[in-house]
Structures are given as C-alpha cells and as structure tokens.
Structure 1
Amino acid sequence: MENQMRNKKGNIKWTTAENTVCFYELKDYINFINSGSKSIRKRENYAAELINQYPIFSLRTPSALRQHFDYLNRVSIDEFSKDAKEDEVFRGILLMNNSYVCSQGVETPEPEEYEEELVDDFDIDDDDKQTDEYHFNLSDEEISSLTSFIGHGDFPKTFIAFLGNEGGLGNSSPRYNIDLLCNEFKKNNTNYFNEGNWKLGYWTVNNYDLNKRSIVPNSPFLYLTARILLALEDQESSVDDWFKKGDSKKLGKVKELIASGGLYSNKPGLKSALLDWRPLPRRDEKNYDFPYLNVDSNLYLKAFNFEGGAENPYNEWVNKRVSIFKNVLNKYHIPFLLSFGAVKSKLTLFKKIWPEIEFNEVTLEESNKTIYVSKEKVSSNTIVIATEFLDYQNLGLIGTMELVKFLKKNYM
C-alpha cells in the first residue's frame, strides 16, 4: 500500500483528501500572501501551522506544503503552462468563483516535478530587509517628484489607458522604486508634459524588445491588461479566444508581451499606458507596514478617497494630482480610459477632471458585473469606464472578457 502511494521517484503523491483540504484553505492562503506576507519563510510558517491543524498533512514538510499551495494557486488561476492531464480539474478553478473545494479524484504532480516553474518573485525575507530600504523619510524633492509623476506609457500616442489605485514595488524595495521614480524616470525631457519643467508632470515609456526576456511577475493585473490589449488588437481571433482557460498558445502570447516590455511601451500597434491615482508606491494596498515614516498613512488614504475633510494636510497633494491628470487627459486624445478599483473615489475624481461628465450603469450579462460608462466622450475623444479592481476575484476573467466585447461592439 505504501508503495502505491509513491511515484517512480519515491515521492509521496498528493491525495484527493489532501487536495480537498488544500482547496478549502487556498483562499485564506491567497489572502495571507496579499496581506504582505510574501517571503518564503512566512509562507512556510503558515504551512507549518496547517500541518499542526490537519493530521492529514502529517507526512508533509512545511516546504513541500508551501510549494504545493503555490502550485495550486497558479493552476487555479490558469497561469500554469504545463499540460498535465491530471491537472485539468484544477485549471482555472478560481476564475469560476467556486468554493475552492475539489471533489474529484485527481492527483497532482509532486513538487519536485514543477519546482522550476515556481521561481519565487516575491520580496526578500523580513529578517534580511535593511531599515533604510523599507522605512525612511521622503524628502521634499521626492514628494514633489512623486506627486508630479504621471505614469507609464507613450501618452501622446496612447490608445487605451488604465487607471489604477497606486503603484506597486515589483520585486524591489520601496527605496529602489523611489529612486527610479524620482531620478531615473525624470532624465528624459521629451517625456515632460511641459518641456523643461518636470514639476508639471512627467512619465516614462517602457522599451519594447522582443528579444528581452524579463521575469514575468505573478500579477493578475498585468496578465489581464495584457489580455485586454491583445484582444483589442487582434482582428482575426474572437475576444473569447484571449480569455479561454487552458489555452497555452494564447497564454504564451500574454507572457511574451509582458516579458518583452510591451505593456505601456513604444510597441508598434495599439499603445497602452498606466496611471496610478495615489502617488506613493508600496507592496500592496492591504500591507499595513507603510514604508514612509513622515507620511500619515491614515490621513493620506482618506485624502485620496476624498474623505479627508478640509483640514487634511494631504489635500494639497490631491489637488495637484487632479490638476496633472486633468492636463494630460485633456491634452492627449486617448480613446479609452479604463479605471479599476475604488469606484466611488474614481467617479469623484472624474467629476473633478470633467465637471460635465455623466455615467450610465451597465450590467455585464454573463459575469453580472457593473461597469460605469461615460454617456458622452470627454476631451472630444475619450470614453471613460470605471469598474471593480482588475484581478481574478473582483472583475474576474469573464467580466474582463465582457468588458473587451463591450468596447469592441460599441466603440470600435
């Protein structure tokens, strides 16, 4: 019996019962990661607690269980490239909004078989962080630069702009990101809203290179924006093809676009851009370990939600951002502006940029998601749409697909 539980390498297979527990706990594991607990050590401590909680994992090590959770997470959002027959029941399972419980008798490959797929692109362990890299004061010059930074993309030529809540950190520290935003990205005078004066707004344009093969982060936002751009650009395939679960060929194209720097870049064809409403980058919105020592995070977030009150010290930052966004969105004729997340705040922002703007509520039939669509084009050319955050648990794969269909049917 023991031999039947092992594969040819002698590794104990993951049983149906184990996978059922894993899928029952998967959503909490994802939330744990999203809360800022992304280091391997933290994830393995989390796995160790589950081993103590569930006797069924008694033969597993924290490392093996952590790898298995990471694997199931990727398979469940259909971002795993191998075509193993035994994985079909798991692929895309989070995209279908089910209860995260697997009830079918399917065994998955052992960690050793897919370990190379799980290149860890999270930040380094907390114990290895340098204080000056993660907790520091922003200088007046840096604050001026951050509030002046518009975003990523060739804005004068942009076809579709995505508006997010705030910038992330990628795989780097806050200090590294601040240096990029405040120094490196300011060097190119041609990317200034007003030549010679970066204080009125500046941006950076990613360099598209098909020969470049950078690491593709495990970012639903990047994957879904890439799918949107490719689906809008493709005049031959149907929109459904770009959002089909398990299509390794299309997924390969999505990854290629991201790895080659094609998003928010000088890429030929339809060009995209990314703006972030709040100017201070951080690991994620749920991370309460705010990096900036001389910024009151509570007042800062309230101000950018338009809930700060007249005495909020960050209202000046908000007014500057409104002015900069208004200038760039009115100067450059961008056909589509898609806003994701914090819908109430974004609708208020749009009213400040375009006082005349009015929205229709449209319910997407299959996903039952609501999008807010400007009744008329603003700035003589732009359709504005606001909706839930762009990931697999909010707008979702189906909602994103329906959004692209809506754009193509009504405006292209």
Structure 2
Amino acid sequence: MTTTSAPGTGAPSARIPDYPMARATGCPFDPPPALGTLRDETPISRVRLWDGSTPWLVTRYEDQRSLLADPRISSDSDQAHYPHTGPAQRERRTLSRTFITMDDPDHARLRRMVTGAFSIKNVESLRPPIQRIADGLIDTMLAGPKPVDLVQAFALPVPSLVICELLGVPYADHDFFQANSRILVKRSTTARQGREAVLRLAEYLERLIGARLAHPADDLLSTLAERVRAGELSRREAADMGVLLLIAGHETTANMIALGTLTLLRHPDQLALVRESDDPRLIASAVEELLRYLTITHSGRRRVAREDIEIGGVTIRAGDGVIIANDIGNRDPDAFPDPGRLDVTRNPRHHLAFAFGVHQCLGQPLARVELQVVYATLYRRVPGLRLAVDFDRIPFKHDGLVYGVYELPVTW
C-alpha cells in the first residue's frame, strides 16, 4: 500500500492498494476480501500494478458487463497504458500479438479464421472422443498404484489430448509445450524467461505449420496453413495463433478440472448431487456454478479506454488502463443470490468467467463439454475419491495468471 497523488491532480489521494491482492488464509476458493470491500464501498477505483501504473479496477458485476460490451473499451495491448499482468506477459505481447489483444476489424477477421472449430455443433461432435479419453485415463489410474496426483494423471492430460487432436499437435510433445506454457502463465516469470518460452513455442508451431503446408490434414493447423497459402497470414502469424490456442486449450480446463474436483471434495453434499445424477442438465448447471464460484482467470480482464467513459459516478479518461475483476463480479450479491455459497443446482449461465461481449472466450463451448464429460464421469467411476493429504498441504497457484493447484494427491 502506498500514498500518492491522485492521477491528473496535485492533490494527495487515498492509499492506492496493490493489485493483485492476497486471498484470506484458509479461504483459497474465495476472491481476496479486499476486492469485496472495494466492490461494496468504491466499486471503480485505482490500483497499483507491478510496474507502478495505476489503472482503474472495476469490481461490480453490472459495471463489468457494461464495460465488456462497450466499444469505447479497447483490448489493444499496444496501447501505451495497457495494464499488463507482468513483465513476461508484456514481452509476450510484444513478440506475439493475436486477436485476443486486438480490436475490430482485425480482431474479428482473425477470430473468424478459427471460429468454426469451436462452434457448438463441432464441439458436440467431439463429446464421444472426449468421453473415451476421460474413460481411458480413469482406467489407467484405477489400475495403477495409489495415491495419485490427479493433476498429472487426469486433469492435465484430458484437455491436452483434446486440443492436440483438434489442432494437429503431436501429444508426444506434451512435456515440451506444457513446460513452456507453465512459464508463460506464472506471474513471477521474468521478461527474458517469457521471451525465450514464447520463441520456443512459436518456432515449434511454425515448423508444424510448415509441415501442414506440405502435407495438409484434417486439423486446425491445416486450416491456418491454408490461410498462409492464400496470403491472409504469415507463417509466424499462423504460428502465434497456434500458440494461443494450444496454451488456452489446455491450461484453463486442466485447472478447472483439478480445482473443481478439490472444491467438490470440500463440499461433499454438492459432490453427492453431481456423482449421483444422470441428468445432463444438472451436470451442465454444476459446470456453470463451478466456473462462477472459482473464476480461475483471477487476474482480471485487461483493457484501455478509447474515449472518456462515465460509469458508476466515475470518469474513466481516454487512455486510462482498466482491469475488470471478474472473480469478484461473479460473487456480486446483486447478480447472484448468496454468492459465497456453492450451489450446483443454480445454473448461473450469465456469469463472467468467459468474459462478455465480442472478446468473450472463443473456446468456451469446448471447455464446457470437456468439463461436463469429466464431472459426469470421474466421481461416478471413482465414488470413493478423496484427498490423500491434509487439505492445508495442497499447493495453490497463488502466483499464477490462471488459478488452480500444482498438485492434487488423491486416493479412493
């Protein structure tokens, strides 16, 4: 906490808190309590980032939804006051820009190139192979020794195998791309470490794009290669898009599988509802509720104001950085009654875990199907699943851009 002058004035300001903020000891599933205080008392306020910048933090659900749909808000990471999450992430955006940090029309043009692969119809066609992947991993886990780390045995392989199949990336290379992904999603990664990881992944995907140019296949990398052949993308641009899809396609879902499982183990009444249900609607509701309750993209959605915006009694000036703290927005009692209670029957489909507006998560249909398959299968097939260590020994990813656990030792 530091005391500064209010931006744009010479007057002393209130103390500006550092962001991100710490979770309360013993409450690893809940957002930091300081975020709740800000939402209740000053829902649009300044915070201080790692580089000393002081963007606006938006904490109330309705304000967040409004801004995410506002064309006056920019996702362009090249803007001077874009609130980067850390030095590695700033370096990554410098080396490798993709549609998620662009505005329309470039954002829409590039996103359309891969939208078809993540359509609801196409993703639903993947449900049977996802089921086979989940069942195969559970078979292996049940046949092996106990205890087992559920992250390595199940949570990480499921989405990795799925995104590899969809993209056309050899799963045999999973140690390589998972290791470099871990570097890029850790807040403490240095600029140099981030640069090296980005370049390793980009060079790897560029080689795969080159192979698809010579020998097309029925996968998403071949679709990108065709865009290269048509002159719509350079090989490096196609590779950068491949890196984005590869990282996003396994990191977030893997963390949701593991953290969601741990959450249910700590809420046995809710676990019982999921385990004993054969109703797809209940499973879908449980997925939405866990997405809301956990909001693993817990570093906020990062934006810059294009124009002056009046919202919540505050003027956000053109050029100001903005962070939309969707983790605390998803715990807003004005949007979700009794928001601190996990209730798998509530189906809060209007949550902001996937953001909102034109930049909402491209891969959300795939993530939903993967989680529906996993939650409907794992606890039914392993009904005695339980922690193999005390809860206070579980290592949480407090230093990650995506929240989760590093390990989840379980037995049955």
The TM-score with structure 1 as length reference comes to: 0.25
Higher relative contact order (CA 8 A, sep 6+): 2
The TM-score with structure 2 as length reference comes to: 0.25
* Greater fraction of residues in helix: 2
Task: Point out the structure with max Rg over C-alpha.
Answer: 1
